[in-house]
Structures are given as C-alpha cells and as structure tokens.
Amino acid sequence: MENNSIIRTEKLTKRFPMGKGEFFALKGIDLKLGVGEFAGLIGPSGSGKTTLLNIVGSLDTPSGGEAIVLDQSIGKLSAREAARLRKEKLGFIFQSYNLLAVHTVFENVEFPLLLLNYSDSERKKMVMDALAWVGLTDKIKQKPPQLSGGECQRVAIARAMVKKPSLVLADEPTANLDADNSHNILKTMVQLNKDLKTTFLFATHDEKVIAYLRRRIYLKDGLIDKDESLNNEISNK
C-alpha cells in the first residue's frame, strides 16, 4: 500500500441533486488514513461524515476528486469490483445493527464467510472465534429479536470482524446504545484494533466514541475542519 495508507482521498467531492439545484455534501476532502488507525469522522448532522464513509466503503461514488481505498480507486470500480472490495476487505458496523432478523447469531456472523466460500469447518471456527471476541458464544442459536441492543451491536461487530478485514467502517455504532453498552462495545473494538491491527474509521458525534479515538477528524460543511492525532492509547475507560 502506497505510504502505508489504507485510505487516501484527494479533492474528494460529492454532490446530490436537490430540487433544481445541487447540494455539495463533500467539498474537497484531502485525507490519508494509515494501517491500524483508530480514527473517527466527527461532526454534526449534514457535515458529510456518513457520505465520506459511504464512498470509502464503495457504497457510493465520488462526484469529483479521488478516493483510493486499499489501492483501488472507488470512482473507477465496476459494481462487481466494488462488491468484491466490500466482500473481501471491508467490514461495516451500522447504527441500527442491520442484522438479518430471521437468521441466528451464528448465521449472521457466518454470512460474510459464506460469500467468501470458506469450508464448513473453517467457517465454524472463524465464527466461534469472532463470537468469542465479543463474548457471545453462548447466544449462537438466538435470533436478533431475542437480543438486547448491546448484544445486537456485538453481533454486528463480530460479523464485521469475522473475515479479519483490513478496514472496518462504523457509522454511529453507539447511537442506539446506553452508556454502559457503548463503553463495552468501544472497548471491544479498541481491543480488536490492537490485537488484529484492523483499521477502524468511525462516523460519529457521540462524545463517548470520540473519547476512544486516537485520531479525530472534524468535518464541517463538507470540509475537514480539524484533524487531531492523539498519541496516548486509550483503554479501559
């Protein structure tokens, strides 16, 4: 990877049609994120953090500029190539968990591995490892509606981490959780970042999340307002 960066954006813009005009969600973002970072895009609603996260996650395409993720230019990827990038290299954690309601915890975590054609035995081991990371090995047969919000988000983390992706993108992962659950979730992610060297990029405006970030990228009106790197490692808050 060029200069050890996992994400690189140059003059990245994104505009959406709005009425007869256009709305610029991103107005020229220049950003580099290195391997193993635990960083967050911070800003109020409408600042462009989710839009940036979606482009980095190859769920959306830039209107201008460039977004290079894991050496692949997002704007130039075909739908199939973008899907492959997400399937093989990226993990997603969403605000509302986005678990498959009719599948069990095991099946939800297993899902990314099914797409990657792992064998039954490999899948079983990897799923159980991932559930062990988040402390849910005793809930494998339960379905999401039977779990608490914190447990659901831990399942979502296990699902994002099970294939050991290079980059995990988390969009407001604690927004639906209480303080205790938020801290537990964040500690889990900090630990996984430390143990597996996975890069985490959050989109958040939650102070609890911000407190755990080692790099804080503040967005305002589609531009980077401030980019802070903290050297101290935060743990066991």
86 binds another protein (CB under 8 A): yes
Span 178-217, contacts to another protein by CB under 8 A: none
Residue 94 interacts with another protein (CB under 8 A): yes or no? yes
Distance CA 136, CA 23 (A): 43
* Token pair listed for 131: 């559930």
Q: Is 28 left (phi over 0), alpha (psi -120 to 50) or beta?
A: left
Judged by CB under 8 A, the stretch of 36-44, 52-60, 184-192, 218-226 that binds another protein is: 52-60
Alpha carbon separation from 46 to 30, 92, 139, 146 (Å, rounded): 18, 21, 37, 34
**Structure-token match 């992962």, residue found:** 173
**Residue 98 makes contact with another protein by CB under 8 A:** yes
Cβ distance 166 to 3 under 8 Å? no
Question: Of 18-26, 55-63, 180-188, 195-203, which part binds another protein (CB under 8 A)?
Answer: 55-63
Tokens of 140: 């494998």
Q: Does 237 bind another protein (CB under 8 A)?
A: no
Q: Is 47 in the site for another protein (CB under 8 A)?
A: no
Biggest alpha carbon–alpha carbon distance for the chain: 55
Among 84, 164, 187, 205, binds another protein (CB under 8 A): 84
Q: Which residues bind another protein (CB under 8 A)?
A: 50, 54, 57, 59-60, 79-80, 83-84, 86-88, 92, 94, 96, 98-103, 107, 111-112, 114-115, 143, 159
